[in-house]
Amino acid sequence: MKAKTWAVRFILYLVGLNLIAVAVVLNIRYDLGVAAFSSVMYAISEIYKISLGTASIICYLIFVAVQCILSRRVTVQYLLEVPLSFAFGLLTDLYDWLVPDFTAPVLLRAVLFILTMFVTGMGVFLCVKTNLVLTPTDGIVKTIADVFLFPFSATKNIFDLSLVAVSVLLCLLNHTPFYGIGVGTVLTAVFVGRIIRIYEKRVRLPEGIGG
């Protein structure tokens, strides 16, 4: 039974990672503003002309370092986020290659964007609840929440808004357009954390997973 539980946990974890990665790329395709949690990565990739996956890896490694500083320790969990950073960066580039550019009426893109926020929320929810290796984006939110005793969903809202502010600052300092910043960015910053909260209250995972 224990082996079966671990297998289910691992499968749900992989599903979560893929949901997050494909959502990042889809939000770019909708052209309404990238997701708040990926805004810094997207700005870096556009400003410095590197792939989104490479920019993600750079940011993720910084997030891992910040986690160690905030918690004042280096754990196996944090160290495992390093190879995951590279794997997730490659996964993002894979979806960036697989998902084609497309055009659609703005209303349809807006509806799809809103639906994708629920995809993002579910991906984060699964990665956190399966309690394996968090993506550094979620890992740093969890570390902040644990260190300062804040709810995870509320901490994510604040952290996502902070990333948007950093993205704007990067663009200003480099005298570039506000890459990826739009109404969709604000929506994800405000609502993804709340969507995760809905999943926390409503979604029941299989026994032995997610507490």
Tally of domains in the chain: 1
In angstroms, what CA-CA distances link 93 with 5, 52, 144?
31, 6, 28
**Over the chain (211 residues), what is each successive 10-residue block's mean pLDDT?**
77 93 92 88 92 91 94 90 91 92 90 94 89 86 90 82 91 91 87 87 76 53
Tokens 């639906």 locate to 115
Cβ neighbors of 205 (< 8 A, separation 6 or more) are 12, 129, 130
- Write down the pTM of the prediction: 0.83
Q: Is residue 122 part of a domain?
A: yes
Q: Is residue 95 part of a domain?
A: yes
**In the numeric block, which tokens belong to residue 162?**
């902070």
Q: Is residue 209, in this structure, part of any structural domain at all?
A: no
Range of the domain at 154: 2-202
Q: Is 211 part of any domain?
A: no
* Chain centroid to CA 92: 11
Position 25, amino acid: V
d(CA 151, CA 155): 6
Interatomic CA distance for residues 136 and 63, integer angstroms = 6
Crossing angle between the packed helical segments 106-129 and 136-148, to the nearest 10 degrees: 60
Amino acid 210: pLDDT? 62
207, part of any domain = no
* Angle in degrees, 0-180, between the axes of helices 152-173 and 136-148, rounded to the nearest 10: 120
Judge whether 123 lies within some domain: yes
pLDDT value for 98: 93
Residue 140, in any domain of the structure: yes
Q: Find tokens 């082996």 and name the residue.
A: 3
- The answer to whether position 124 is within a domain reads yes
Strands (E), the chain: none
